[in-house]
Amino acid sequence: MESFVSGGHRYLIPLNAAGDAHGRGLCGRNWPAAQEVSLDRLREEDVDLVVLQRPEEIELVERFLGRRPGMDIPAVYVEHNAPRPYAVDAVHPLAERCDIPVVHVTDYNRLMWDTGIAPTRVITHGIADPGNLFSPEIGAAATMINEPIRRWRTVGTDLLAKLSTHVPIDVWGIGSAELNIDGRLGAVRGRGDVGHPQVLHEIARRHVYVHTARWTSLGLSLLEAMFVGMPIVAVGTTQVPMVVPADAGVVSADVEELGSALRRYVNDPSAAAVAGKAAREYALVHFGLHRFLTDWDRLIAEFCR
């Protein structure tokens, strides 16, 4: 969303008195092109396009904006996730609608979701370049995982214990401190929820970034690690094998191979620097902010012409 609202449009963010899931507003973020709009004043706004992200928002737009998405006003639905609950048989909530396109964030997600008659597009992530921050001084791997205990196998938290027999692993993210009281995780250290961009400076002090998710969409944290110039060691699932080139790290379904790669990058700073440089170059070309905003501008113009 931070990337999306940095484009050349006017972005309205709903706000209600409760500040709940349907009206959180900006939450204190400094997004100059975005402005909070009270739900009870939404009908007064000249809205050109609605961006949906949850099925229930279709009804909410009709209630608060007074127009039906896809019929009275153009709308797109951004699907952030890989299909749930089943990998190939999950039917998308908009599968029976042809008037609201589903915008996927990876080609893999579009391949796997059953979207029925809904038109589909893919607009991959775009990130403002944080710069080459890689300065390895701590002999450990880094990763960023939100709620690693609750989301256990989905995000591959169970793999961290075995991987940490090769090198220590530091974990940042919401709920990561809970890892420190879990006796199953060996040399895994929860570092807590650290704000952005400080967390990028912290991970960049480690020698390698490890990505263990089994079944999530392509995480921004993995791309951010590539942007800051870190070598990548990743579980080879969903979109990951298509975005981590061979010279940027190691992608595998073999946990022993992943562990060996972690150890190699920690013990060989030169190899880590070369792989990290390749990771950063790939990220700059494929996940830059300008490309992302250009893709969205093209789609917005098409549906609002």
Beta bridge partners of 144: 172
CB-based contacts of 297, cutoff 8 Å, min separation 6: 7, 8
β-sheet with 120-122: strand ranges across: 50-52, 75-79, 102-104, 120-122
Helix (H/G/I), strand (E/B), else coil: 264: helix
Domain boundaries, the chain: 4-126+288-304, 138-286
Got the DSSP string for 135-173?
Answer: ---EEEEEEE-SSTTTTTTTTTHHHHHHHTTTS-EEEES
Distance between CA atoms of 61 and 65, rounded to whole angstroms? 5
Mean pLDDT by 10 residues, the chain (305 residues): 94 93 90 94 94 96 94 96 93 97 97 97 97 97 96 94 96 94 85 91 98 94 97 97 97 98 97 98 97 97 88
Q: What is the DSSP letter of 39?
A: G
- pLDDT (0 to 100) of residue 200: 97
CATH superfamily of 138-286: Glycogen Phosphorylase B; (3.40.50.2000)
The answer to whether 247 and 294 have CB atoms below 8 angstroms apart is no
The burial of 276, by beta-carbon neighbours within 10 Å (0-12 exposed, 13-18 middle, 19 or more buried), is given as buried
Residue 165 makes CB contacts below 8 A (sequence gap 6+) with 186, 187, 259
Beta bridge partners of 138: 206
Q: Under a CB-based contact definition with an 8 Å cutoff, are residues 165 and 259 in contact?
A: yes
What is the model's pLDDT at position 182? 76
